[in-house]
Structure formats: C-alpha cells, structure tokens
Amino acid sequence: MKIGTIARNTFREAKRDRVLYLLFFFAAVCIVFARALAVLTVGDRVKIIKDVGLASISLFGVLMAILMGTGLVYKEIDKKTIFTLLAKPIHRAQFILGKYLGLVLTLFIMTVLMAAIFLAVLFAHTFRVEWPMLTAILFIFLELLVITAVAVLFSTFSTPILSSIFSLSFALIGHLSWGLETLIRKMRPGAGRTLARVLYTFLPDLENFNFKTEVVHGLPIPPRIYLYSTAYGLLYAAFVLGLAVWVFRKRDFI
C-alpha cells in the first residue's frame, strides 16, 4: 500500500519531467526517420526500419532509465523532502521499491508508446502488424528494469552526473561482458582463470535481453531462453535493488 502510494507519486512526478518528453520526441523522430533511411539502402528496406526502430527504442529507453533514475533518490535528499517522508512510518526498503516501481511504470508507458509508433511505421510500409517485434521490445523493457535498478542504486549515494556515468558504464559493460568468455578460453587454468570466470558470471550480461537480430531475421528462438532471460533479469534487478536498500539503510539523514 505504502509502496503503491510512493510509486504513484513518483509516476506523477516523472510525468512532469521535460527530459522524458524530450527523449520521447527524439525516439519518435528516429523511428519515423528509419523509413526515410530505408530508401537509401539497396535491398531489404524493412530490415533497416526494424533495426533502426528497435535500436531507437532500446537506446532512448536506456537514456530515460538512466537520466530519470539517477535523480530519483538524490532529488529527495537534495530538496530535503526525504526528512518528511522518513518521519512517516515508511520502511526505507518500501521507499526505494516505491520509487523504483514508479519509474518502471513510467518507462513501461514510454516503451508502449514507442512500440506503437514503431509498429505503425512498419505497418505503413508492409501493411501488416509485425507481432514478433513485440518479443524484442518486451526484452528491451526487461533490460530497462535492470538498468533502472542500477540507476536507483547509484542514486542512493552519488550525484546525478556521476550516477549517470556509472549507469551508462554498467550498460556498456553489460553489452560487452560476453567478450570475457573469449579471454577465458585463451587463459591457462589457474587462479586468474577462475577469477575471470567468477567475474564473467557476476557481471551483467545484457545480451541475454537482446533478441533484435533473431526477430528481424525471423530466426527460431529456443523457448528455454525466454524463461532463463526473464528470471535472470528479474533476479539481477532484485539483487541490485537489495544493494540499493542496503546502502540506503546505512545512510544517516540527521
């Protein structure tokens, strides 16, 4: 109940944020522009529209999650509204969860809107609704859940600028961590390799949520991966939120 109230307030607050609309505007422009870009290609134009559209949803979704998530807790501390909130019978974990869910709701609506524009642009080109695209978009949203949790974590102890840099780095590492596997394969067995292996499994693997290539090329996706990727995303987000709660519990506001 308390979590719901905080989430609703966070959503109302997010709705008033101009950055959200600015990013949404650019995302919409990119998705629509994909159609113009497709004219320049030789060959499959629909592929270009799909690639650019999905990339825009992913990129601007990540930017929304980072730019809004990193100021989420920090703003409350900076404006001293945190004192009023914590004076009430609210657990700090409830506060963090409420904030997180409020932003997740905002991102969900934004993702739905971007997806609607994307599908409309695709429909204008192919005259059919490309439902498989929703699979990729769903997992983009799952990626946003993880990145939002990370942004909230950094927001509990750092300034928005630093938190944005950290969160962006997290997103980059998440998409490049698979490269460690190549390195591990070339390493000799020993402590270094074990350490690299632990690091590899601990670091986020955001490629688990990347189904863009598969849906664009119509490749079969093993059903197990849906379950694993969803569970992985939810557990990773839960872990990061747990860390955020732990850090936030340690903070002294008096």
Partner 1 sequence: MTTRRIAPRRLSGGFALGLFLAATCAGFMGLKLETDQVLREKVPGSSIIYIPSGKFLKYATFGYSALAADLVYLWAIQYYGSPEIVDRFAYLDHIFAIIAELDPRYADPYEIGSMIADREAGDIPLALAILDRGFAKNPDMWIFPFEAGHIAQTRLKDFDLAREYFGKAMVLPGAPDFTKRLYANAAFKVTDYATSWETWLEVYNTATDDRVKKIASNHLYQVRAEMDVNALKEAVAKFKERYGRLPAALDRLVATGLLSALPMDLDGRDYVYDPATGDVKAPSLWWKR
Q: Contact residues for partner 1 (CB under 8 A)? A: 51, 93, 181-182, 201-202, 205, 208, 213-214, 217, 219-222, 224-225, 228-229, 231-232, 235-236, 238-239, 242-243, 245-246, 249
**CB nearer to partner 1: pick between 16 and 182:** 182
Residue ranges of alpha helices (H) inside the chain are 2-15, 18-39, 45-69, 72-78, 81-87, 92-126, 133-155, 160-176, 179-186, 191-202, 212-217, 223-250
**CB nearer to partner 1: pick between 11 and 200:** 200
Rg (the chain; Cα; Å): 20
Q: What is the DSSP letter of 219?
A: -
d(CA 132, CA 150): 29
d(CA 248, CA 63): 24
Cβ at position 127, least distance to partner 1 in Å:
25
**CB nearer to partner 1: pick between 62 and 215:** 215
d(CA 179, CA 95): 37
Cβ at position 31, least distance to partner 1 in Å:
17
**CB nearer to partner 1: pick between 16 and 217:** 217
Cβ at position 83, least distance to partner 1 in Å:
19
Cβ at position 71, least distance to partner 1 in Å:
25
